[in-house]
Structure 1
Amino acid sequence: MYKHFFKRFIDLIFSIILLPFLLILILVVALAIKAEDKGPIFYTANRLGKNEKIYKMYKFRTMKVNAPDLRNPDGSTFNSEEDPRLLKTGKIFRKTSIDEIPQILNVLFGNMSIIGPRPDLPEHIKQYSKEEKEKLTVLPGLTGYNQAYFRNSIEWSERKKNDVYYARNISFLFDCRIFLKTIQTVLFRKNVFLTKEGS
């Protein structure tokens, strides 16, 4: 019952409550980004959602305009504190997870949840095993099991295993634990960037 009804109800209420905060934050972030490079405020990209559906994910832009697409050897997105593509404001947004907040709109629209596996790029499905595709049986999340407990400190293969574990064990109590752990992780800025090449 929770997975198929109450979870979506909680997501909807949560996103509506946070919407005024998002609008205020957009004004503040817009001023910061425009003061640095005058480029667009938002970054939108296609992501792989529930049941393999592709959707547009919203984020605050953290990189310079026309930054090249860099990948790790395993195909996952390159992520480093020393990434030359990052704006000065972008480093701050990533450390504090402010860049992820526009995904409240995705939660409101119903293609994301507050808690769930982080979405991968659409082409990554070609690298999924049959078991790993189980992560696509639930909505991707603004935060999730990996983000709360490991953030960016573990390899993509391990993250996919954890996503499958979440999809198989989803519950209200599990989501509450993840939510509280996320707050702790963000406040203490743990594991924001990769600790080694290819992780």
Structure 2
Amino acid sequence: MIEQPENLVYKRVKFFTEHSPSLRLYLERKQGYFIAKRCFDIVTSLMIIVLVLSWLLPILMVLIKLDSRGPVFFKQKRVGFLGRVFWCYKLRTMYINREADIRQASENDPRITRIGQFLRVTGLDEFPQFINVLLGHMSIVGPRPHMYADCNKFANAISGYKFRNLVKPGITGLAQIKGYRGPTKDFESIFHRYQFDAFYVRNANFWLDIRIVRKTGAQIIGEVIARVFKSKSQQKMSAEGYNTPSLKTIQN
């Protein structure tokens, strides 16, 4: 019987931690923090689910259904704590396509729906992951979980990449507030993300988590405001008759 690849990932990481005294010491030293963090995750995710998702989710479900055909939710296997594979939930932001599990979304990706653009900018597409947090698959703060194929690809490119799996993956993380939110564009982007993820794993503490949550909220609000002003500016220019000159106009 052939063993599932995700089980092999978990066994490799488990073997690594069990045979490394320094990593065992790390996990033991952080035990109090992990307990406090889990309590924070449970309380916060319950509040979000009851106070926000209970009324917001039905509205978003209707908008997604009106915008395009397909299911409201999108689930995908991601690699989590100690290499364990779990189903990660999101609101669907793309048209139904076969490449969703093997190719990341890119900027101005034609697969993204109109409502999907809004959901991605505001981060609302990630809100179902509070269910993952409540179930214990994820934390509110931590390195973002990757698809299994990407995890192996990045691990082959960067030595020690799976070190980031020593904590639960998060809805947001240090790399995200440092500007590495969204798809990984190139090796340099992957490398810098890993540096921030590794720094977080080594220095994880409750106050760092609070800072990351606050910074994430501020960035999302700022991005939404910037998009609104940009849209209004474009509408104003269009109404006043400002059009981009064509090549023929410039030559004449």
* TM-score normalised over the length of structure 2: 0.69
Q: Does 1:15 align with 2:49?
A: no
Paired residue type of 1:159: R
Structure 2 partner of 1:181: 215
Q: 2:140 aligns with which of 105, 114, 130?
A: 114
Give runs of aligned pairs for residues 156-171 of structure 1, distance below 5 A: 156-171=190-205
Deviates more, 1:124-133 or 1:154-163: 124-133
2:115 pairs with one of 89, 114, 129: 89
Looking at CA atoms only, which structure, 1 or 2, has the larger radius of gyration?
Answer: 2
Q: Distance in 1 between matches of 2:78 and 2:55?
A: 26
Residue matched to 2:33: 3
Output one character per residue of 1:76-130: Cα deviation in whole Å (capped at 9) or x when no partner: x2420x2110100000000111100110000000010010000011123323145
Cα distance change on mapping 1:78 and 1:86 into 2, 3 Å: closer
Aligned-partner SS, 1:8: helix
Unmatched 5+ residue regions in structure 2? 1-30, 228-252
Q: In the aligned structure 2, how far is the partner of 1:105 from the partner of 1:54?
A: 16
Question: Does structure 1 residue 38 correspond to structure 2 residue 69?
Answer: yes
**Alpha carbons of 1:17 and 1:135: their partners in 2 closer, same or farther (altered >3 Å)?**
same
Match of residue 137 from structure 1: 166
Residue 79 (1) aligns with residue 106 (2) = yes
User: 2:172 aligned with 1:146, yes or no?
Assistant: no
C-alpha distance in structure 1 between counterparts of 2:47 and 2:96, whole Å: 32
Query: Which residue identity is paired with 1:28?
Result: I
Of structures 1 and 2, the one with the larger relative CO (CA 8 A, separation 6+) is 1
**Cα distance change, pair 13–27 in 1 and its aligned pair in 2 (3 A):** same
| SS of residue paired to 1:18 | helix
Give the Cα–Cα distance (whole angstroms) in 2 for the partners of residues 147 and 115 of structure 1.
Answer: 10
Letter in 2 for 1:40: P
| Distance of 1:110 and 1:140 partners within structure 2 | 10
Maintained 8 Å contact 1:59/1:99:
yes
Structure with greater proportional helix content: 2
Q: Alignment length, in residue pairs?
A: 186
Which 10-residue stretch deviates more, 129-138 or 167-176? 129-138
- Secondary structure of the residue aligned to 1:189 is helix
Which structure 1 residue ranges, 4+ long, deviate > 4 Å from structure 2? none
Paired letter, 1:140: P
Are residues 2 and 143 of structure 1, via their aligned partners in 2, closer, same or farther at CA, if it must alter by over 3 Å? Answer: farther
2:69 and 2:95 in contact (8 A); partners too? no
Q: What residue identity is the alignment partner of 1:94?
A: R
Gaps of 5+ in 1: 72-76, 193-199
Q: Secondary structure at the match of 2:111?
A: coil
For residue 65 of structure 1, what is the aligned residue in structure 2?
Answer: 96
> How many angstroms apart in 1 are the aligned matches of 2:221 and 2:32?
28
The separation in 2 between residues aligned to 1:122 and 1:132, in whole angstroms, is: 13
Which residue is 1:197 aligned to?
A: none
Alpha-carbon distance change, 96 to 67 in structure 1, aligned in 2, over 3 angstroms? farther
